[in-house]
Copies of this chain bind each other. A is one copy, B any other.
Amino acid sequence: MSKRTLRTPFFSVNPKSYLFGEEAVQFAIALDQLAEKYDVDVLFTCQHADLYRVSQAVQHLFVTAQHMDGHQIGRGMGKILPESILAAGAEATFLNHAEHPMMVEDLVNAIKRAQALGILTIACANSIAEAQTIATLAPDMMVCEPTELIGTGKSSDVDYMKQTNEAVRQVNPDILILQGAGISTVADVEKALKSGADATGGTSGIVAAENPLKIAEEMIVTVAKYKKEAN
């Protein structure tokens, strides 16, 4: 199935369970205008119950589920059926986030189903070894926050970003890489993009900020600047 192509560098806004309902819709609309104004591709994740409303309200955002199960139409009470998020207008889904880790079999199936249905996948890993394993499944994007390197004192932030970028690309150079850990300032966005990542984004650094839209705009402006320089 056809998927919309992401233009790099892109940006991801991930409100987790901070936003829902009307507030999520309004924030998505505002981000949609920023995506258009600065000509930057922006992923926006929301609660499953909000996917339809958000999709209906926006034109540019890549509306993204926060999780999806790898199962088939049929049984599966309470599971997130891939077809259901697609029908609700989602174009992408996160998978295997540290707050929603997946069994090996589920992740394998979820990526296969997403590929068959034309859903973009953003798979998460907590270590370089895990990232390289998941990379063999060819998700469209990966987020890698290797806990084993954090706080060792041996690697700077940028060093481990580069190291994970390289580890993933060594397995599959087509996977786009999002460096998103602890992004709360424009300087963080710059650092992530300087590492060679294809994208960056934020959660609490944006939605828990005093003025979420203001910081989101500043970050998107920064991404736009890097995008121009790259082209």
A interface with B by C-beta (< 8 Å): 14, 16-18, 20-22, 45, 47-53, 65-67, 71-81, 83-85, 87-88, 90, 94, 96-105, 107-109, 112, 125-127, 129-130, 132-134, 136-137, 204
Q: How distant is the Cα of A47 from the Cα of B51 in the complex, in angstroms?
A: 11
Question: Hey, which chain B residues are within 8 Å of A45, CB to CB?
Answer: 77
Closest Cβ of chain B: how far from A123's Cβ, in Å? 9
Contacts A49-B87, A84-B50, A90-B49 given: A77-B136 contact, CB under 8 Å? no
| Nearest-neighbor residue (CB-CB) of A55 within chain B | B49
Q: Is there contact, CB below 8 Å, between B81 and A17? A: yes
Question: Which residue in B74, B96, B125, B132 is a CB contact (below 8 Å) of A18?
Answer: B74
Closest Cβ of chain B: how far from A52's Cβ, in Å? 5
Question: Which residue in B71, B96, B108 is a CB contact (below 8 Å) of A129?
Answer: B108
- Extra A-B contacts (8), CB below 8 Å, given A17-B71, A17-B73, A48-B48: A16-B76, A17-B81, A21-B88, A22-B87, A78-B97, A78-B99, A79-B99, A104-B130
Question: Hey, which chain B residues are within 8 Å of A67, CB to CB?
Answer: 77-78
Question: Which residue in B17, B101, B103 is a CB contact (below 8 Å) of A76?
Answer: B17
| Nearest-neighbor residue (CB-CB) of A85 within chain B | B49
Q: How many copies does the complex hold?
A: 4
Q: Is there contact, CB below 8 Å, between A109 and B127? A: yes
Contacts A102-B104, A112-B129 given: A47-B84 contact, CB under 8 Å? yes
28 residue pairs A–B, Cβ–Cβ below 8 Å: A17-B84, A18-B73, A18-B75, A20-B73, A20-B81, A20-B83, A20-B84, A22-B87, A48-B49, A49-B49, A49-B65, A49-B84, A50-B52, A50-B87, A66-B78, A67-B78, A76-B99, A77-B98, A78-B94, A96-B104, A101-B103, A102-B103, A103-B103, A104-B133, A104-B134, A105-B127, A108-B127, A109-B129
Q: How distant is the Cα of A84 from the Cα of B20 in the complex, in angstroms?
A: 5
| Nearest-neighbor residue (CB-CB) of A136 within chain B | B136
Question: Hey, which chain B residues are within 8 Å of A104, CB to CB?
Answer: 96, 101-104, 107, 125, 130, 133-134
Q: Is there contact, CB below 8 Å, between B101 and A21? A: no
Closest Cβ of chain B: how far from A99's Cβ, in Å? 4
Q: How distant is the Cα of A21 from the Cα of B88 in the complex, in angstroms?
A: 7
Closest Cβ of chain B: how far from A104's Cβ, in Å? 5
